[in-house]
Amino acid sequence: MLKRRRILVVGNWKMNPATLARAEKLFVDVEKTIKNKTLRVDMAIAPPLLYVGALSELSGPQKIEFVAQDVSTHESGAHTGEISAAMLRSHGIKCAIVGHSEMRAAGESDESINKKLHALLAVKSVAILCVGESERDGNGNYFGVVEDQLRSAFLDIKMDDVKRMVIAYEPVWAIGTGVNARPEDVEEMRLFINKVLTDLYDRATAEAIRVLYGGSVTPDNAAELLKQGAIDGFLVGGASLEAKKFVEIVKISDQYAKLA
Ligand code: 13P
């Protein structure tokens, strides 16, 4: 039986909404429904970085953390278009999504993912490291895929640092398809991730790391995934663009945290 960690629900807005006005409306709609609630879960949003300044002005007493969708491997210099971990931190952003399958599909390498984790740790920030297979075959090859992703991402990352990381298991075939992974398969992968981390570090370290699930999470499947999936929260894509659905997923997670 895995130890319970504090649940984290993150909304990955990707390259949405199309305008700042719509982003502000979405943010305010999320904010107002949770404003006066004491949540037992952590909650964060990864909007397009350009919107963060304006959105943080609208932030109410229930502080929603902002997460970056990416970070540069570099510290500074001639790297047009890139944003460093230190720059993010100077804007209060202490966490970035790294290794999202959409970035991997666009050519992001294991080496670059590892460098990004080191870049974040160098300024005491953390990553939500995304791992996940592109397809599920009958031979269980997806375990090997996830193991390789974990081993290469955590190369030369110290035990004390890795404890602060978050892993998001996002099977590529479940992202944006409306077909979520089965809770029992999520549980199996969660246990496998724990085994790989125990092998790489030790049991206590493995138990300290939160593992989220992402891939077609909705209010309809969130409870089941939490209950059977043995995960510590969600990385939500599409449903985080609808305030009502995202808040519902947060509420379901909060309810679960209360019972657990
Ligand atoms: P969906 O929730 O739209 O499947 O996206 C998941 C995801 O990619 C979050 O990072």
Domain residue limits, the chain: 8-259
Please write the tens of the pLDDT for every residue from 2-24.
Answer: 566 899 999 999 999 999 999 99
pLDDT at residue 2, as a whole number: 55
| Nearest CA residue ID for atom 2, ligand 1 | 237
| Nearest CA residue ID for atom 9, ligand 1 | 237
Output the pTM of the full model.
Answer: 0.96
Does the annotation list 173 as a binding residue? no
Residues 123 and 85 sit within 8 Å (Cβ to Cβ)? yes
Does the annotation list 13 as a binding residue? yes
Helices 243-259, 20-34: crossing angle, 10 deg rounding: 30
Q: Does the CB atom of residue 216 touch ligand 1 within 6 A?
A: yes
Q: Does the CB atom of residue 183 touch ligand 1 within 6 A?
A: no
Asked whether the CA dihedral 148, 127, 238, 90 is positive or negative, the reply is: negative
Rounded to a whole number of angstroms, the distance between the first and last alpha carbons of the chain is 13
Does the annotation list 238 as a binding residue? yes
Structural fold of domain 8-259 = TIM Barrel (3.20.20)
Q: From the CA of 238, give the closest atom in ligand 1.
A: 3
Gap between the Cα atoms of 202 and 195, Å rounded: 9
Range 73-83 average pLDDT:
98
User: Quick one: which of 173, 176, 180 has its CA closest to 222?
Assistant: 180
User: Which residues belong to the active site?
Assistant: 100, 170
Ligand 1 geometric centre to CA of 180 (Å): 10
Range 46-53 average pLDDT:
97
Ligand 1 geometric centre to CA of 212 (Å): 12
